[in-house]
Chains A and B, each alone.
Chain A
C-alpha cells in the first residue's frame, strides 16, 4: 500500500471517529450555520465600502472576515455532510436563514415584517422537504 492511500484511510478513520454519532454531525452543521450567518453580517457591513482598488478590498476587514467565516462554515459543512443523514442536516442548514434574520435586526437595524418571517419559515420548511426527499434517493 502506498503512502497516499494509507493517509487517505487514516483521514477516513479520523472522520469516522468524529461522526460516530449523529449528534456530532448535527452540532457541526449548527456551528456551520452560526459561522455562515455571522459571515453574512460582516459581508453586508463590508459591502458598504466596496471599491475597485485591490488594495482597498484587501484592507476591507469586515469583507475579509465575512469571507473567512463563510469559507470556514463551508469546510465544516462538507465534513459533516459526508457522514450525516441528509434529511436531518438539511433543515438544520436552513436555520441559517433564521439566524440571519435575527442578526439583521440586531446589528443592521433592519426591520422584519410578517411577510419576511413567513418567507423565512416557508423556505426552512421547503428545505426540510428537499432533505427528506433526498434521503429517499
Chain B
C-alpha cells in the first residue's frame, strides 16, 4: 500500500490541532481538582480534550490512505509544535538541546517520507 499525500497532510494538520490540545491541557491543569463540578467547569481542560479528540479523528481518516509504519512516525511532528507553542504561550525557555532535538526530529520525518 502506497501512502497518499493527503494522508500525510491530514496527519500534519492533526498534530498541529493536537499540540493546541496539549497547550490547553497544560493551562487547564493549573486548576485541576478532584471535585467533578469544578472539573466540568474547567473550560480550558475540556477544550484541550476536544482538540485531542479532533486530532485523533484526523489521524483515523489519514490511516485509511496509507501505511501505519509511515503515518505513525509523522506524529512526532507534534513535539515540534508543542515546543514552539510552549515557548510562545507558556514562556517556557528553549535551549540548544531542544532546538537540536527539533532539527533531529525534522530530519527523521524527512527520512520516513523518503522511505514511504
Interface residues of A (CB under 8 A from B): 4, 7-8, 11, 40-41, 43-44, 46-48, 50, 63, 67, 70, 94, 97, 100-101, 104-105, 108, 110, 112-134, 136-137
Contacts and interface: CB of A to CB of B under 8 A. Distances in A.
Contacts of B90: none
Counting chain A CB atoms within 10 Å of each CB, the highest count among B35, B73, B79 belongs to: B73
17 contacts: A43-B63, A44-B68, A47-B63, A63-B60, A104-B68, A110-B1, A116-B73, A116-B111, A119-B111, A119-B115, A120-B112, A122-B105, A127-B76, A127-B105, A128-B101, A131-B101, A132-B101
A104 B64 contact: no
Interface of B: 1, 33-35, 56, 59-61, 63-64, 67-70, 72-73, 76, 79, 83, 93-116
Contacts of A108: 67-69
Nearest to A116: B115
A11 B106 CA distance: 39
A126 B102 contact: yes
Helix, strand, loop or mixed for chain A's interface? helix
A85 to B, nearest CB: 15
B108 A101 contact: no
B69 A122 contact: no
Given A41-B68, A133-B96, A126 B104 contact: yes
